[in-house]
Amino acid sequence: MAEKQTVLVIDDDDSLRRVTEFTLSESGYRVLVAADGHQGLTVFAREAPQVVITDIQMPALSGYEVLRRIKEERPDTLVIVITAFGTVENAVEAMKEGAYDYITKPFSRDELRMVVAKAFAFLGMVEENRHLREQLSDRVDFSRLVGISDEMQEVFNLVRRVAPSEATVLIRGESGTGKELIARAIHGGSDRSGAPFVAVNCAAIPRELLESELFGHVRGSFTGAVKDRKGKFELADGGTLFLDEIGELPLDLQPKLLRALQEREIEPVGGGLRKVDVRVVAATNRDLEGGMEEGTFREDLYYRLAVIPLQLPPLRRRPADVPLLVKHFLAKHGGAGIAVADSAMTALEAYGWPGNVRELENAVERMIILRRGDLLEEADLPPKIRQGEKRERSAVLNLPEEGYSLEALEREAVVEALRRNDWNQTRAAAFLRIPRHTLVYRMEKYEIRRPS
């Protein structure tokens, strides 16, 4: 495949085809053209372009049929359909067939450039995410781990390094950030992957039952103990035990957990010591250091658990992952043929997501169920997302005591908006609620360049 990004344009309108070819060539793409569907499929089979732009209404072979054949031969190819103004229902039908996006005639050169740039950016995100998953391990399915932001790349790289070891890992992060998914990835990338992965939520089990749940009990050790029962440690023998919400573990049970970690032996309720071979991965959204100061969490247990600390970033700190997560959840919940309007995606990226990835998945599932059509508009979003609750709770800047020039503040705001949106100018402009050309002007004015 050629190094240049390649676009195939299929259109029976000679004038529109020439303008499209010129515009995209001027933007640096390698452009192939075809005057009808049959010719287009021939060029596609020979050149294998990454992106195809096809008109829907063409004689002999329609854009729908072109789309179907391309998706059958190379499903990863992104197809953008062209439809006439007022016939958006045709575009929606094409989205159901697997089209990536659509553009309506008449369209401006800027619109054309933007939709093609967005397609290649999406291809880049998908490829980078695939590459990161392959780097992590070839022994486990990482399809549920979605993220191409710098923050998640750091997490993935740490998972790749720590998974083959026997080290205890403490995963920290807000509720809904995917701590159990990371724990399962660590287990799957280890030599224990063929053995059980057992998860326990320490906050969900009543205090009087938690000891028995973790360490087991023998018959007659307490009222209701009518037979011996294995605890989670024994059930996970040879594998991995995931202790979620470890900060909720009662103080009097902490020495027993510490012994299990240090000596690899447990003591069931009413029984004697038993050896176990278990790797522990723990998780919390609580301030364990504060718990140590208050005397509610043992310091020696903390350092035994946090041999490898791993911090999961909240979703509001990685907005670049939102489009990929949305597409992932659409496919997961039966909405693979549903498209998301740019205005709706901008609102999703700008929202603060206090519930993190779990909240985003719930929002996507809700939109699929309550949608009015197969194009999700801003009106289809939950009200609190439409109302624009942004990532940051406050837009007030922390001004230095000695003062700061207005131009310096403006420059800092532009740089920060670009950084949070992985230097994507379209999303950064939407974040700042200004036109893209205004953002570009400010970047030129303040000589802002993306760091190498």
Can you tell me the distance from the alpha carbon of 303 to that of 433, in angstroms, rounded to the nearest whole number? 46
Q: Is the peptide bond before 206 cis (omega within 30 degrees of 0)?
A: no
pLDDT tens figures, 310-367 = 999 899 888 888 988 998 899 888 887 888 888 888 889 888 898 999 999 999 999 9
pLDDT at residue 139, as a whole number: 46
Mean pLDDT of the chain: 85
Can you tell me the distance from the alpha carbon of 317 to that of 206, in angstroms, rounded to the nearest whole number? 34
pLDDT at residue 135, as a whole number: 52
Can you tell me the distance from the alpha carbon of 208 to that of 367, in angstroms, rounded to the nearest whole number? 41
* Domains of the chain, first to last: 6-129 (3.40.50.2300), 140-311 (3.40.50.300), 320-386 (1.10.8.60), 394-452 (1.10.10.60)
pLDDT at residue 144, as a whole number: 64
- Mean pLDDT for 287-291 is 85
Can you tell me the distance from the alpha carbon of 394 to that of 432, in angstroms, rounded to the nearest whole number? 14
Reply yes or no on whether the pLDDT at 53 is more than 70. yes
Handedness of CA 284, 285, 286, 287 (dihedral sign): positive
Residue that has been written with the tokens 């519930």 in this structure: 355
Can you tell me the distance from the alpha carbon of 225 to that of 287, in angstroms, rounded to the nearest whole number? 35
Assess contact for 92 and 339: CB atoms under 8 A. yes
- Banded pLDDT at 226 (limits 50, 70, 90): low
Q: Provide the 3-class DSSP secondary structure of residue 406.
A: helix
pLDDT at residue 129, as a whole number: 66
Residue that has been written with the tokens 């791993």 in this structure: 310
pLDDT at residue 141, as a whole number: 45
Q: How much is the pTM?
A: 0.58
Pairing of strands 265-266, 274-275: antiparallel
Assess contact for 21 and 3: CB atoms under 8 A. no
pLDDT at residue 138, as a whole number: 47
Reply yes or no on whether the pLDDT at 217 is more than 90. no
- Mean pLDDT for 366-370 is 90
Can you tell me the distance from the alpha carbon of 53 to that of 33, in angstroms, rounded to the nearest whole number? 10
Reply yes or no on whether the pLDDT at 390 is more than 60. no
Q: Residue 241: which residues within 8 A CB-CB, separation 6 or more?
A: 198, 200, 232, 233, 278, 279, 280, 281
- Banded pLDDT at 124 (limits 50, 70, 90): confident
Assess contact for 123 and 78: CB atoms under 8 A. yes
